[in-house]
Amino acid sequence: MFSEYKFPKNFLWGGAIAANQAEGASKIDGKGVSLADLHIYYPNKTNEEIAAEQHKGMSVAQVKENMADQNGYYPKRHGIDFYHTYPEDLALLAEMGFKTFRTSIDWTRIFPTGEETEPNEAGLAYYDALIDKIRELGMEPIITMLHYETPVEITLKYGGWNNRSVIDLFVKYGKTILNRYKDKVKYWIVINQINLIQFEPFNSTAIPYDTVDNYEEASYQAVHNQFVASAKIYEYGKKINPDMQIGTMVADCTAYPFSCDPDDVNLALRRNRMEYFYTDVQFRGEYPQYALNYFAENNIHIEITDEDKRTLKENTMDYLAISYYYSQMVDAKKNNMNPASVTPNPNLKANPWGWAVDPKGLYNSLSQYWDRYGKEIIIAENGFGMYDKLEDGEVHDDYRIDYLSRHIEQIKHAMYDGVGVIAYCAWGPIDIISCSSAQMEKRYGFIYVDLDNEGNGSGARIKKDSFYWYKDVIESNGEKL
């Protein structure tokens, strides 16, 4: 019975951040400029307008302008100074009882432009110390190789990930960190949310929108090149340590049909298949026919060599990492095949950024992916962004506790039904810069960081009510929700 089901004793409870949203120190120890360093904060734009900027991407002129800008504020260049505060911050996570901690290695700390023949030892030394501290505190490190940290030179010199030359540059970087940490890191995510080319086009592909005639074609070529790079990294990793677990990661962008109208059901089916496309290729080792048909019908031509096909077929990923925040819905009368084209669900309430709260959607997503592949799943991100209020030195975030407890309950239900979830990483266990909006006030953490959207504040760390709640969750192995 479900009421008697318990999480496995070895379940990995923890949290996740990204280097570019937390570390800061953008000009320290030889770091290069990454795409994240170009993300300006818009003080006078609404949340909707900021989201539109992200969906649009960037032009070459904008890239150069932001690199030279001396007046605007670029929050990800500063983060929460995790580069210097990680020992204290990790100690707070260990106090909650974390069993795992996910973060990324910033490509531009290791190869500042991506083209160097030798890695930057200062960058490697930082990650030596960070990974050692994670392990020392009893946490299993989950390391992402690329979390929107492509060197800007890949954009300016190569035009982005649609250039096949980038494959070798990334594989060189991947081999470097695999060699360095092959005996310290078991779980690797090669590329964060590889499917977000419509939501985070520039972050995902590094392609300026004014350099290609068919942006959708260029984006899918970029994804193909990322598939190949991931497979080559997998092949190498397994040679140097067969026990490594190397996975792919997607954001859940599957959709419900708006109604039982066959047109709505059909659109949801076709939309969802083009989301499963990414994992179909990386778990089954070949392009599905429905995707090839979509490309042909939409004038999308992708260069896929016979060697690419062999590499993909022989090097499928070990596990699925997934991020889940909200669910989506499609109406055939209003929406199309673009994953960003959605209809609000009248049955759900949303946060101030329009993200509809739907715990049962997580059960649905986990079940569908498990039924399709039977691959173990790491929930690499799940969290609730909200405007938190610091009052008398305290943050009362019952809304976050409610959100997370209801989602964990659905994870438990999925596992009861046989889904192989092995880890849960709450997103942003300490407040960091928002990926999509570059806001500090879009907070996810169990730990409040006293900084505002423009970096003002003491930087003090303050435990929220959710800190103590999550500590109890972990200590009880999910029994106290």
Q: Which of 419, 424, 412 is nearest to 379 (CA)?
A: 424
Give the 3-state secondary structure of residue 323. strand
Q: pLDDT tens-digit profile of 301-350?
A: 999 999 999 999 999 999 999 999 999 999 999 999 999 999 999 999 99
Give the pLDDT score at 40.
Answer: 95
Give the pLDDT score at 210.
Answer: 96
3-state secondary structure 205-222: HCCCCCCCCCHHHHHHHH
Which segments of 137-254 does DSSP mark as H helices, in order? Answer: 152-158, 165-181, 201-205, 215-240
Q: pLDDT tens-digit profile of 69-79?
A: 999 999 999 99
Angstrom distances, CA of residue 108 to CA of 117, 121, 177, 358, 410 = 13, 12, 13, 36, 38
Token look-up 């009052």 returns 391
Helix (H) / strand (E) containing 282: helix 262-284
Amino acid 351 reads N
Q: DSSP character for 235?
A: H
First and final C-alpha spacing in the chain: 18
Domain ranges of the chain: 2-475
Distance CA 21, CA 82 (A): 9
Helices then strands (H, E): number in the chain? 16, 12
Give the pLDDT score at 78.
Answer: 98
Give the pLDDT score at 51.
Answer: 79
How many CA atoms does the CB half-sphere of 244 hold within 13 Å? 26
Q: Give the residue ranges of the chain where pLDDT is below 70.
A: none
Give the pLDDT score at 56.
Answer: 85
Give the pLDDT score at 469.
Answer: 98
Give the pLDDT score at 170.
Answer: 98
Give the pLDDT score at 231.
Answer: 98
Domain 2-475 has CATH 3.20.20.80: yes
Give the pLDDT score at 90.
Answer: 98
Give the pLDDT score at 105.
Answer: 98
Give the pLDDT score at 50.
Answer: 82
